[in-house]
Structures are given as C-alpha cells and as structure tokens.
Amino acid sequence: MPIVDESVPLTKKNIEIILNYLPYFEDTNQKFFDIIMPKRDGRNIVDYIYVTYSAKFMEFYRELHEQGFVTNFNWLDSTSESEDLSHYYELLEDADIMTLRRLFSMIVRNDKHNEGFFADVVDSGLLLAMLNRLKLLNEEIE
C-alpha cells in the first residue's frame, strides 16, 4: 500500500473519501472485527490469537493509504507511549490535519507490530473521535 511523504498536502476530496466512512463507524450495530482465539492441539498452541477485520473496515484501511493519511512520519521517534490510547486522545484535542495524519500513521504502524491494536482503537471510540475531528477540520477548509 502506498505511503506518501507527509509534506504532500491532502485535498478536500481525500478528506471527504475518508469521511464517507463516518456513518459506518457511528453504527454501533456494525461488527468491525473478530478476535480469533488460540487453537490448541493437546497442550501445544498451534495457532495464536489474532484479529480479522470486516471487509468494510479493510476497505477503509486501504483508503487511509490511498488518500494519503498514512505517511512516512517516523512514528517510533514520536513517543514511547504509542500503545497508550490516552496519549492519542491528548494529541487529538487540538489536532490539525498534519497531527491527524500522524495519528493515523502511528495507529497503522503500531497495529503491524501489535496484533489487534487497531481493534482497540475502534473499541475505545478513538477512531470515531478522530473521524469527528477530521469532519470539523474539513468544515473549516474553504
């Protein structure tokens, strides 16, 4: 999936494509993911716990990349608290578009190294809060 330089500006169209998913994430009846529990063969674990995401969620995930929300921002240097969701909420309070892009990049990268992290972001309401912040910022763009 493409990763753009964070200096490449987003267009209103890029933002609106991502915001098209807001009703999906607002719908509490949606099942965004499943947690697959470990499988055992006797006493041996033959398959570890993992998360599978819905087709619509995976479409959203691809659009984050396609629309330039996942950038080459070096998220590992940004914080030692990248797994602590409260840190993301703090950054979100006054987030501009660049900060939102960095937050999305941090979440996507962290999920690659921490199975189910994106599921935690969804469950906690952080993703919905990020999309609502993006909506507010989009309304301010002429």
State pLDDT tens for residues 14-51: 999 999 999 999 998 999 998 776 666 667 655 666 78
> What ranges do the domains of the chain cover?
12-140
Rounded CA separation 116/111 (Å): 6
> If we measure between CA atoms, which residue out of 69, 67, 31 comes closest to residue 51?
31
- Provide the whole-model pTM: 0.85
pLDDT score of 34: 86
Query: pLDDT of 70-95, one tens digit each?
Result: 999 876 655 555 567 888 888 898 99
- At 78 the pLDDT is 54
Distance between CA atoms of residues 129 and 121, nearest Å: 10
Would you state the structure tokens that stand for residue 106, as one six-digit string? 């941090």
User: What single DSSP character describes residue 49?
Assistant: -
Q: For all residues of the chain together, what is the average pLDDT?
A: 87
